[in-house]
Structures are given as structure tokens and as C-alpha cells.
Amino acid sequence: MKHALIALCCLVGCATEDPTPPVVETSARIIDPGGCPDWGCGANSATVGDGLIFDELDSSMRTPNRGGLKIAGATLVDGTPVTMKVWRDILYAVGRDGAIYYDSQLTGAIIILKHPTYGTYEAQIAVVKTQALTYWAGAPDPVRFYEIRTRKLGVTKFTQYACKSELTTDPTWSVDPHLAIIFQGDRYDATYKTVTETSPSDPWFNIACAATAPAKMHLMRHTRAGSYDTTGAIAYDTSIAQRDALLKMFTADYCGTGHTFTVDGTPLAYQDRNHWVPMPPYVAKESVWTETGAICLEVPRYVDVDTIRSVCGWVPPSCSTISWPWESVGYAFSAIPPP
């Protein structure tokens, strides 16, 4: 991580200011954005409220996201105008004088978001933590995360969490259920559950809330930003097909059509072919996965087989029909953990 910060500073030089964090109101409430987002009902997608999703944004401020929101500007806590950018998984701001601000220097910074119909919103970087979260796969290097709070322009206090879900039943995210991991280099088609890798200069970045599939993808090092070790070398390389397979596993896209058959917080044991994480104990096989979806299915994690058949028109065959070990035919394996 130290090498990454040095490389970032070398781009345009780092500012030395470290502004005092402001007092942030904690009387937050859970937001219900209404309906089901593309990642499925119960998904913890980042929202400013009013059903407006901002799980990805264009830092060039040119193009609105799929929720219609576009960055209109940003300021530091002291009102200094800046431009927000992302390098790998580091959110940083560039001042008009070229100075760079990151980590604690972003505490209290505000990103202004505009919607052509619903008006202007503000998203505040309320908390930045650099050591509390680590990668699940490979070396347990630290991963930055951000707590973001939002308000409609004109409202006095930041009373809403961008990442709305408490996720109290999922101990994996107990470090902070409202955290967001921010990274660029991968873009997600939420409708079809596929991944596209973008160039390092691409302005789009993800705001991946706790327990969402994009957050899990990054912590499992199945993103371009997550492929680097602390020296800056690519140590955890994955192909687009492999990332697609893991994304379809996380979203329970059994039929490969993009339909999600799970919700955030559903227990699951899993492993990919790299074996960067050990396979935890399980009581029943679920599926073996490729980039096309599940190539076999035993016990679904959340719905029954009839539900899958009614949506897809078919179900994958039993896992007893494929060759084992599963690594010979698929990229990932999922199973039902003990209760």
C-alpha cells in the first residue's frame, strides 16, 4: 500500500494538509429505495435516497450513471473546490493548483450529484478507514473503505447512509455494515451480471457497498484493482471469463441470463480454482460455475428448484452428472454452509 501511495503522489504531488474531521450527525435512518435494484431484492446498493442509485459514477463529470446521476462538483471540508478521481482502489481529490488529497484528508469532503428530474444531492465522505478491512483472498493486505452519508440539497444534516443496510445477520461485514469500497478498472452490467475490464484512464468507478457482489469481487481479488500486491506487481491475475463466473456465483445467476436468485447476507461456502482462500465446511453442494452460469445444481441457497424453473424455463442438471474434481470442469464451486 505504501508503494501505491508513492506512485499516486508522483502523478502530481501530494498536499500536506490534514484537515480536522468534522462532527458528523449519527441520527441516521435506513433508506428504502423502493422496488428491487438489478442486483436483486435486499441488495445493499449505494443510493442517495428517492430510489436513485449511485453504485458507479463518472469522475469526468460528463455522463450520468444508470440512475441518472452525474457528478457536478466536489469540495473538501473547508470548501476548497476539487475534482474527485479514483486510482485502482484509492479515492483522491485534485485541487485547482494540482495538489492531491487522499485518505483522512478527504474526511468531510462533499461530492455534488445532479439528477435532471429530482434535483441536486450531496454525498459526504464521513469516514475513511485504511487498516480495518483486508482482502479475503491472497495476502491480507489492507483495503480502504469509506462511509458515505447523503442529503438532498437544502437539507441541513447528512441523515442518511449511502449504504443503507444494517446487515446485522452477516458477521463478515461487522467491521462496518455501512462501508463502501471504491475502485475502478472493472465495470459491471447489472442486468446480465457480466464484467468488462476498462483502461487505467477510464473515469468510471464503482461504489461497492458491504455485502454486494462488486464488493465481494474486489475482496476476492477478482478485479483489476485487487490484482496488485503491495509492491505494485500483478500477483492475482484473473481473466474476464473467471470474473464473470465468480460474479454469477455471488449473484446466484444459475441460468446465466442475469436473473438473481439470492439476497445480500445469504450464507454461502465457496472457492475458486485459484484456491486463494480455503474451502470452508459445508453440508451440501450447491453448484459448479463457469462464465455461462451454473453447470450443475444440487441445493439452491435461497429459493427452491421450482422457482428457478419457473423463471428460466429449465434448471441445471445434478452435480452428480459432471466430472470431479470440480476444478476440471468449472471455475468456482459453491455449497451450503452448516447452520
Residue 194, C-alpha cell as written in the block: 457480466
Beta bridge mates, 194: 189
- 96-121 residue pLDDT tens: 999 999 999 999 999 999 999 999 99
Domain boundary residue, one of 237, 263, 283:
237
Residue 312, amino acid: C
Three-state DSSP at 190 gives coil
pLDDT of residue 177: 78
Contacts of 328 (CB under 8 A, 6+ apart): none
Its pTM stands at 0.88
Same domain membership, residue 35 and residue 19: yes
Same domain, 231 and 305: no
The label of the residue with cell 436483486 reads 40
The pLDDT, as a whole number, for residue 164 is 78
Does residue 19 surpass a pLDDT of 50?
A: no
Q: Which of the 8 DSSP states describes residue 325?
A: S
Kindly state whether residues 31 and 132 are assigned to the same domain: yes
Q: State percent of the chain over pLDDT 70.
A: 82
Position 51 confidence tier, pLDDT thresholds 50, 70, 90? low
Kindly tell me if the per-residue pLDDT of 318 is higher than 80.
yes
> Pairing mode, if any, of strands 179-184 and 204-209?
antiparallel
Looking at 185, 219, 237, the residue that finishes a domain is: 237
Give the residue numbers spanning the domain of 87. 2-237
Which of 217, 237, 257 is the last residue before a domain boundary?
Answer: 237
**207 and 109 within one domain:** yes
**249/206 Cα distance (integer angstroms):** 20
Name the DSSP letter for residue 48.
-
Mean pLDDT of 324-338: 97
- For 91, counting Cβ atoms within 10 Å of its Cβ (0-12 exposed, 13-18 middle, 19+ buried), the class is buried
Interval 115-141: pLDDT, tens: 999 999 999 999 999 999 999 999 999
Residues 229 and 307 in one domain: no
- How many angstroms separate the CA atoms of 267 and 263, rounded? 10
Residues 175 and 285 in one domain: no
Q: Which residues pair with 290 in a beta bridge?
A: 293
Percent with pLDDT over 90 in the chain: 73
Residue 41: band (very low, low, confident or very high) from pLDDT cuts 50, 70, 90: low
Nearest to 57 by CA among 5, 121, 106, 105: 121
290 and 165: one domain?
no
If asked whether residues 295 and 222 sit together in one domain, one would say: no
**Alpha-carbon distance 134 to 210, whole Å?**
13
- Judge if 15 and 32 occupy the same domain: yes
Question: Does residue 280 sit in the same domain as residue 144?
Answer: no
Both 230 and 264 in a single domain? no
Q: How many domains, in total, are found in the chain?
A: 2
pLDDT class of 265 with cuts at 50, 70, 90: confident
Query: Are 208 and 118 within one domain?
Result: yes
> What's the mean per-residue pLDDT of the chain?
86
pLDDT given for residue 11 in this prediction: 43
CA angle 318/319/320 to nearest 5° reads: 90
Dihedral in degrees, nearest 10, Cα atoms 33, 35, 37, 40 = 120
